[in-house]
């Protein structure tokens, strides 16, 4: 096709068509369709290949975005997917769940004045189409006799498995859940990431030779020491599942629930694998208040809408500009009827046996030298937001397994596994055969950074094993 002068002037920034709000809020399907006709090519053509690829620098994975946008513009879908996979083992997932507005698209040269290139939507569209056509990542040219155990089938574990398999190393992934994905499956709702996408990635990985051992708890069903003895290396990616305790008065009242168990129970209801432990409250006609401002809080408010809540309110102590969550998720939540109370600090959850409301006080932001603005309470009286259900979403901490101490794996003061440092490879722990990454090292963080850790851990493992990738 011939090049058009200044396509970004001809084609405004656009995303694939969005399901109408009255329809999307009554199910858990993804809210965006795929590009139609020439839309993907048109949007990819908006990239001006500015010479200094701010988008690539803004991506934790260093994706070669201008290069695969050029391939997409030329209609070379399989070639674009191949280039994507050189840096990103899970592009169709990152294309859906990354906060592109804070990463690659946020630093796009066109962002100011013309609208950033729709990088995330194009990434998702290309990978989906390539896999539908039968394309697969490059396979190992030869197999080695090396074996690596991966503990955790979340994004870090899956990324490591991909890189190891493609280098001819046998990867065995152990996970306590019944499906792969970790929080990709059990934390992120289907309206952001349909679970067939994760299952499809499992199929791709299994075709590469990765073996999954699901429903297996390391330390209970199989000893960690056995994995260390039987495998040439072990990668630990057990995530962050321990909820931050805000110690709010009244948080033990009936009707107060924690975000992650709520999302996991809903995911299992959707998957048809719920157990008696996966208790999902009846939200129909209820007033729901979610405390917190991250992406998990947005997942909770949008899930509550779909479960029939009459009124959903998000309370956050800072302003909208300083929310840690993705701006697009805040917009989606607001479009779906969620009410936001910014600059409001929860003081207590009130009720007699069962929650009746949340007592809040107004805040203002105070600049901190070299850091994030701090929320300061304004002493002008309190208010109470009526509530039938309160969901606590103050973040999550790393969940170090009990066997870390006996294995000599060092932890920091927040319970995160310590990696790297003098005389160690990137992602290597104090135990020379054990590597770690993702939320178990960083604390609760972005999916794309977990993918980065898995990729880099695999690189270090291959280096230690003397395998040329």
Please give the DSSP secondary-structure letter assigned to residue 153.
-
Share of the chain above pLDDT 90, in %: 88
Q: Please, what's the largest Cα pairwise distance for the chain?
A: 70
Position 5 confidence tier, pLDDT thresholds 50, 70, 90: low
Strands 211-214 and 311-315: unpaired
Q: What is the mean pLDDT of the chain?
A: 95
**Which of 70, 103, 132 corresponds to the end of one domain?**
132
**Which of 392, 418, 450 corresponds to the end of one domain?**
392
Q: Secondary structure of 220-260 in the HEC alphabet?
A: CCECHHHHHHHCCEEEECCCCCEECCCCCCCCCCECEEEHH
158 and 38 in a common domain: no
Q: How many domains does the chain have?
A: 3
Token reading at 306: 């779909």
What pLDDT, on a 0 to 100 scale, did the predictor assign at position 187?
A: 95
CATH number, domain with residue 187: 3.50.50.60
Q: How far is CA 285 from the centre of its chain?
A: 30
- Give yes or no for residue 1 having a pLDDT over 50: no
Q: Which domain holds residue 401?
A: 147-240+397-465
> Comparing 141 with 333, which gets the higher pLDDT?
333
Q: How far is CA 281 from the centre of its chain?
A: 25
* Residues in Cβ contact with 415 at an 8 Å cutoff, skipping those fewer than 6 apart: 242, 397, 398, 399, 400
* Residues in Cβ contact with 279 at an 8 Å cutoff, skipping those fewer than 6 apart: 265
* CB distance 328 to 358 below 8 Å: no
What pLDDT, on a 0 to 100 scale, did the predictor assign at position 317?
A: 95
Token reading at 74: 């030329």
What pLDDT, on a 0 to 100 scale, did the predictor assign at position 297?
A: 97
Please choose, from the candidates 169, 139, 176, the residue with its C-alpha nearest in 3D space to the C-alpha of residue 231: 169
Element (H, E) at 207: helix 195-207
Give backbone dihedrals phi and psi of 31, rounded to 5 degrees, phi first. Answer: -90, -10
Torsion 174-179-184-188 (CA) sign: negative
Euclidean distance between CA atoms 440 and 241, whole angstroms: 9
342 and 329 in a common domain: yes
Predicted confidence (pLDDT) per residue in 62-112, tens digit: 999 999 999 999 999 999 999 999 999 999 999 999 999 999 999 999 999
18 and 43 in a common domain: yes
Is 140 part of a structural domain of the chain?
no
152 and 222 in a common domain: yes
Token reading at 329: 């998720």
Predicted confidence (pLDDT) per residue in 254-274, tens digit: 999 999 999 999 999 999 999
CATH number, domain with residue 62: 1.10.1060.10
- Give yes or no for residue 395 having a pLDDT over 60: yes
Please choose, from the candidates 375, 417, 415, the residue with its C-alpha nearest in 3D space to the C-alpha of residue 396: 415
Q: How far is CA 423 from CA 413, 429, 430, in A?
A: 22, 11, 10
Count of residues in the chain? 469
249 and 386 in a common domain: yes
**Which of 359, 392, 425 corresponds to the end of one domain?**
392
């Amino acid at each position: 096709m011939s090049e058009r002068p200044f396509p970004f002037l001809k084609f405004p920034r656009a995303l694939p068509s969005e399901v109408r709000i009255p329809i999307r809020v009554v199910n858990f399907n993804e809210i965006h369709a795929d590009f139609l006709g020439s839309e993907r090519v048109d949007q990819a053509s908006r990239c001006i290949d500015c010479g200094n690829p701010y988008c690539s620098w803004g991506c934790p994975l260093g994706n070669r975005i201008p290069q695969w946008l050029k391939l997409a513009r030329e209609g070379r879908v399989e070639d674009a997917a191949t280039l994507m996979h050189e840096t990103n083992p899970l592009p169709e997932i990152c294309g859906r769940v990354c906060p592109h507005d804070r990463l690659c698209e946020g630093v796009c040269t066109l962002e100011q004045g013309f609208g950033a290139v729709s990088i995330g939507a194009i990434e998702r569209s290309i990978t989906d189409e390539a896999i539908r056509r039968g394309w697969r990542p490059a396979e190992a040219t030869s197999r080695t006799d090396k074996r690596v155990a991966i503990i955790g089938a979340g994004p870090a574990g899956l990324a490591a498995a991909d890189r190891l398999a493609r280098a001819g190393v046998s990867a065995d992934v152990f996970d306590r859940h019944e499906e792969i994905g970790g929080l990709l499956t059990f934390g992120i709702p289907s309206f952001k990431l349909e679970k067939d996408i994760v299952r499809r990635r499992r199929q791709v990985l299994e075709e590469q030779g990765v073996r999954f051992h699901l429903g297996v708890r390391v330390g209970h069903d199989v000893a960690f020491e056995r994995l260390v003895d039987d495998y040439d290396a072990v990668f630990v990616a057990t995530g962050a599942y321990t909820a931050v305790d805000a110690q709010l008065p009244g948080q033990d009242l009936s009707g107060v629930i924690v975000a992650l168990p709520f999302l996991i129970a809903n995911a299992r209801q959707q998957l048809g694998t719920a157990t008696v432990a996966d208790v999902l409250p009846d939200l129909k006609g209820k007033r729901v208040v979610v405390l917190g401002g991250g992406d998990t809080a947005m997942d909770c408010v949008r899930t509550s809408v779909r479960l029939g809540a009459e009124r959903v309110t998000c309370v956050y102590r800072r302003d909208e500009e300083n929310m840690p969550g993705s701006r697009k998720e805040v917009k989606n939540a607001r479009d779906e009827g969620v009410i936001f109370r910014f600059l409001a600090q929860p003081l207590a959850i009130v009720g007699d046996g069962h929650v009746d409301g949340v007592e809040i006080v107004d805040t203002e932001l105070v600049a901190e030298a070299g850091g994030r603005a701090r929320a300061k309470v304004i002493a002008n009286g309190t208010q109470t937001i009526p509530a039938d259900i309160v969901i606590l979403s103050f973040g999550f901490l790393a969940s170090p397994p009990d066997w870390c101490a006996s294995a000599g794996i060092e932890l920091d003061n927040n319970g995160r596994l310590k990696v790297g440092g003098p005389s160690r490879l990137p992602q290597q722990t104090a135990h020379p055969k054990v590597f770690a990454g993702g939320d178990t090292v960083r604390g609760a963080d972005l999916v794309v950074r977990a993918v980065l850790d898995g990729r880099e851990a695999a690189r270090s493992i291959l280096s230690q094993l003397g395998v040329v990738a």
